[in-house]
């Protein structure tokens, strides 16, 4: 299978401190890859660097081309999209306007009508349709995550990067969100999923990486990681006691 994204020895420093020490990973076209690890392992840093929000060293090869020098906006034009941990919605704008701006990069490059695309998002997330005129800041946590996902999909990304989509959500909502993520695979979008909820992440993913203290310490097909004793012990937390 051809790779959508290949990251080689990615390193990121804040001030003089290195937070990510040469992590390498690969996302195949149409696959879901997850990166799991404890708080402070460098997961969010890694996504921010891939998106261009943080300067980094190493190669980020996307669609056969090194994009590590591109600004964020150019990466969006190329089909990269990040749903950050804090969602970063436009809180004083309506749900509909948030979705509209999700397509900004396409509109600027001359996309015509996008009303149909907004309707498509509404079919995927009926809740958002009910709230289309409501301000994004007034939405519940689950709805905000749906809007963040919807806004990202409006850009018609080829690689969608999700940072902790389950954060702070009730189990039922988490389930919904993960179903959406799984369903995106069939539409050909490649997904890089960063999660604390390791079990849920490994259930939807094809392949997984374990990041610890800024380094990839383990990788493998998701199914094999779930049964890996080290993962079970550390990242599935209480698993040992539960059984």
Partner 1 sequence: MNLSLALWLTQDAVVNGAVYALLALALIVVYTVTRVIFVPQGEFISFAALSLATLQNGKVPGTVHLLIATGLVVAVLDGWRMAKTRDFSRLPRLVLFNIALPLAVAALAWWSASRPTDVWLQVLVTLGIVIPFGSMIYRLAYQPLASASILVLLIVSVAVHYMMVGLGLVFFGGEGLRASIFPGFNFDVGILTISLQSIGIVLSSVVLMVVLWLYFGYTVYGKALRATAMNRIGSRLVGISTEFSGKLSFTLAALIGAISGILIAPITTVYYDTGFLIALKGFVGAIIGGMGSYPIAAVGSLLVGFLESYSSFWASSFKESIIFTLIIPVLLWRSLGKHRIEEEEEE
Partner 2 sequence: MNPWLPVGGLVAVLLAAPLALSEFQIVLLNYIGLASIVALGLVLLTGIAGLMSFGQAAFVGVAAYTSAVLTTQYNMSPWLTLPVALVLTGTLALAIGAITLRLSGHYLPLGTIAWGIAIFYLFGNLEILGKYSGVAGIPSINLFGLELGGARELYYLIWLMTIGASIAVRNLLDSRSGRAIRALKNRVTMAESFGIDTARMKIVIFLYAALLAALSGWLYAHFLRYVSPQPFNLNSGIDYLFMAVIGGSGAVWGAVLGASILTLLKEWLKDLLPYLMPQSGNYETVVFGFMVVLFLHRTREGVIPYLTRLMPRKDKPRPSLEVAALPRRAQPEAGGTLLSIDQASKSFGALQAVSNVSFEMRSDEILAVIGPNGAGKSTLFNLVSGVLPVSSGRISFLDQRIDRMTGREAARLGIVRTFQHVNLMKNMSVLENVALGAHLRSSSGVVASSLRLERAEEARIMAEAARQLDRIGLGDRLHDPAGTLPLGAQRLIEIARALAADPVLLLLDEPAAGLRHLEKKALAALLNDLRKSGVSILLVEHDMEFVMGLVDRVIVLNFGQKIAEGTPREVQSNPAVIDAYLGGIE
76-115 binders of partner 2 (CB under 8 A): none
> By CB under 8 A, is residue 100 in contact with partner 1?
yes
Q: What are phi and psi of 238, to 5 degrees?
A: -85, 10
**171 contributes a contact to partner 2 by CB under 8 A:** yes
List C-alpha distances in Å: 85 to 38, 65, 100, 142, 224: 15, 27, 21, 13, 27
The single residue among 27, 35, 76, 181 that binds partner 1, judged by CB under 8 A, is 76
CB atoms within 10 A of CB 73: 12
Among the listed ranges 31-39, 56-64, 71-79, 179-187, the one in contact with partner 1 (CB under 8 A) is: 71-79
At 20 the three-state DSSP class reads: strand
Q: Cβ distance 210 to 216 under 8 Å?
A: yes
- Is residue 51 a contact point for partner 1 (CB under 8 A)? yes
Indicate whether 104 belongs to the interface with partner 1 (CB under 8 A): yes
Q: Both tokens of residue 80?
A: 């990269």
Contacts from 121-124 at CB under 8 Å and sequence distance 24+?
A: 121/150, 121/153, 121/154, 124/150, 124/153, 124/180
**C-alpha span between 158 and 156 (Å, rounded):** 7
Helix axes 171-186, 141-153, angle to 10 degrees: 10
Q: Which one of 178, 209, 222, 225 is in contact with partner 2 (CB under 8 A)?
A: 178
Segment near partner 1 (CB under 8 A), from 119-127, 152-160, 165-173, 193-201? 152-160
Question: How many residues sit in the footprint of partner 1 (CB under 8 A)?
Answer: 30
Contact in structure between 81 and 102 (CB atoms under 8 Å): no
Select the binding partner of residue 19 from partner 1, partner 2, none (C-beta < 5 to 8 A, by kind).
partner 2
| Out of 3, 93, 167, 180, the residue judged to bind partner 1 by CB under 8 A | 93
With CB under 8 A as the contact rule, the residue among 9, 108, 175, 179 that binds partner 1 is 108
Backbone angles phi, psi at 161, to 5 degrees: -110, 125
Q: Which stretches of the chain bind partner 2, using CB under 8 A?
A: 14-19, 38-41, 138, 140-141, 164, 167-171, 174-175, 178-179, 196-197, 199-200, 203-204, 213, 233-234, 236-239, 241-242
The residue ranges that bind partner 1 (CB under 8 A) are 51, 53, 71-73, 76-77, 81-82, 84, 87-93, 97, 100-105, 107-108, 151-152, 154-155
């Amino acid at each position: 299978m051809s790779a959508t994204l290949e990251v080689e020895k990615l390193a990121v420093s804040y001030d003089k401190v290195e937070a990510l020490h040469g992590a390498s990973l690969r996302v195949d076209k149409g696959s879901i890859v997850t990166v799991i690890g404890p708080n402070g392992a460098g997961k969010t840093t890694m996504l921010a660097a891939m998106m261009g929000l943080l300067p980094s060293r190493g190669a980020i090869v996307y669609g056969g081309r090194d994009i590590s020098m591109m600004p964020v906006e150019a990466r969006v034009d190329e089909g990269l999209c990040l749903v950050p941990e804090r969602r970063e919605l436009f809180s004083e704008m309506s749900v509909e306007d948030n979705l509209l701006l999700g397509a900004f990069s396409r509109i600027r490059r001359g996309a015509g009508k996008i009303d149909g695309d907004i309707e498509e998002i509404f079919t995927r997330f009926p809740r958002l349709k009910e709230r289309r005129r409501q301000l994004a800041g007034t939405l519940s946590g689950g709805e905000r995550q749906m809007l963040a996902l919807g806004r990202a999909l409006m850009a018609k990304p080829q690689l969608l990067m999700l940072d902790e989509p389950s954060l702070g959500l009730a189990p039922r909502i988490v389930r919904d969100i993960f179903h959406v993520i799984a369903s995106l695979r069939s539409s050909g979008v490649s997904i890089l999923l960063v999660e604390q909820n390791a079990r849920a992440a490994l259930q939807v993913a094809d392949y997984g990486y374990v990041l610890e203290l800024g380094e990839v310490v383990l990788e493998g097909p998701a199914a094999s990681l779930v049964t890996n004793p080290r993962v079970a012990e550390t990242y599935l937390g209480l698993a040992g006691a539960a059984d």
